[in-house]
Amino acid sequence: MKPEIKLHDKTFVPFIPYEKVCEAIDTLAEKINADYKDTTEPPVILCILNGSIMFTGELMKRLDFDCELVSMKVSSYDGIESTGKIRQVMGLTGSLRGKKVIITEDIVDTGNTIDALVSIARSEGAADVRICSMLLKPDVYKKTIPIDYVAMSIPNRFIVGFGLDYNELGRNYKDIYVLKSE
């Protein structure tokens, strides 16, 4: 783990090492495997691009049931601030009609994106929708939609790495870094 990284005009310091991320995903996958062990219809893993790519890839390697992969891209951030407005940047790459859907997100904070994603999945005919997030900021999550699967809860800090970015940089780091306090 690097002692710090600089992305654009911000400096980030180590927060969660890759090994801890993998342990959390291992535990999360065990819960999902238990819930879907008797499933007869393969569920759809709905990967929310771009942030969830690394998380979804690691999670899928640990799932021991058949599943489909569908992606879509939404955006709500400008720099390090959430705009509160969800834009659908790329539509669904496959059908959700009649399927059990597990939405995989990199991080859930306010829940505005989750609200929009669940609404989209239901309008596309999903039979069941569950939310799976690598990270959750419980101090700022104010929605009533349950987050069914959470790998780790974290404080309300801005982070990058393992798929998370600051203005599109930082996703490629396997460790997670937090914005350095000024």
181 confidence band (pLDDT: 50, 70, 90): confident
Residues taking part in catalysis: 109
pTM score:
0.93
Task: Provide the sign of the torsion angle of the four alpha carbons 156, 159, 164, 165, taken in this order.
Answer: positive
88 confidence band (pLDDT: 50, 70, 90): confident
The more confidently predicted of residues 74 and 72 is 72
**What pLDDT shows up at residue 56?**
98
Tens digits of residue pLDDT in 108-156: 999 999 999 999 999 999 999 999 999 999 999 989 999 999 999 999 9
**What pLDDT shows up at residue 74?**
87
Q: What is the CATH number of domain 18-76+86-154?
A: 3.40.50.2020
Tens digits of residue pLDDT in 4-55: 999 999 999 999 999 999 999 999 999 999 999 999 999 999 999 999 999 9
160's CB contacts (< 8 A; 6+ apart) are: 5, 7, 12, 166, 169, 170, 171, 173, 176, 177
**What pLDDT shows up at residue 57?**
97
Q: Is 63's pLDDT higher than 80?
A: yes
**What pLDDT shows up at residue 83?**
61
The amino acid present at 125, given as its one-letter code, is G
181's CB contacts (< 8 A; 6+ apart) are: none
**What pLDDT shows up at residue 87?**
76
**What pLDDT shows up at residue 153?**
98
77 confidence band (pLDDT: 50, 70, 90): low
Q: What are phi and psi of 120, to 5 degrees?
A: -65, -50
The more confidently predicted of residues 181 and 29 is 29
182 confidence band (pLDDT: 50, 70, 90): low
